[in-house]
Amino acid sequence: MQKILVSACLLGEKVRYDGGDNLLQDERWLGWQREGRLLPLCPECAGGLSTPRAAAERVGDRVITRGGIDVSEEFALGAEWALALAQGEKVAMAILKARSPSCGSGQIYDGSFSKKLVDGDGVTAALLKAHGIKVFTEAQLDEAAAELARLESN
Ligand code: SF4
């Protein structure tokens, strides 16, 4: 069975920076969970950050909190954990939370803490992509399902 690395907050784990979650209520998603396909990880927690924690955004090649603390090392460590899990479990793909400085894919916040978006990837999404792992957001379940069907028909 093809496995999928996923953002833990999308499965309801309260790991978001503010102590909340981003539980995804979607029948297909919940079906994949019931099948045991989904491998949850919060890269920011894996990198050693606590919950709740200060909001952070990518600024160039660094990640900086709203208060100006550089948390790039923690984000990089979390990304390494995610890659190790993805490779160790031979996941088919990742489905990660949109816009996050770790998990975002295609678009992320611009570093000004003003909800403005720019093209780019979060630290974890970028590392996974660099190693050939396809990354989808929770808004791309159709594409993810098509990829899963393609892989399982081979
Ligand atoms: Fe969710 Fe990823 Fe943020 Fe963790 S780092 S709370 S998994 S979006």
pLDDT digit string (tens) for 98-131? Answer: 999 999 999 999 999 999 999 999 999 999 999 9
Answer yes or no: is the C-beta of 8 below 6 A from any ligand 1 atom: yes
Answer yes or no: is the C-beta of 3 below 6 A from any ligand 1 atom: no
Where residue 151 falls among pLDDT bands split at 50, 70, 90?
Answer: very high
pLDDT at 87: 98
Q: Give the ipTM of the model, two decimals please.
A: 0.99
Q: pLDDT of 34-92, one tens digit each?
A: 999 999 999 999 999 999 999 999 999 999 999 999 999 999 999 999 999 999 999 99
User: Residue 154 above 90 pLDDT?
Assistant: no
d(CA 17, CA 103): 13
User: Residue 20 above 90 pLDDT?
Assistant: yes
- Residue 141 host element (H or E): helix 141-152
pTM beyond 0.95: yes
CB-based contact 107:99 (threshold 8 Å): yes
pLDDT at 108: 98
Ligand 1, atom 6, lies closest to the CA of: 16
Answer yes or no: is the C-beta of 53 below 6 A from any ligand 1 atom: no
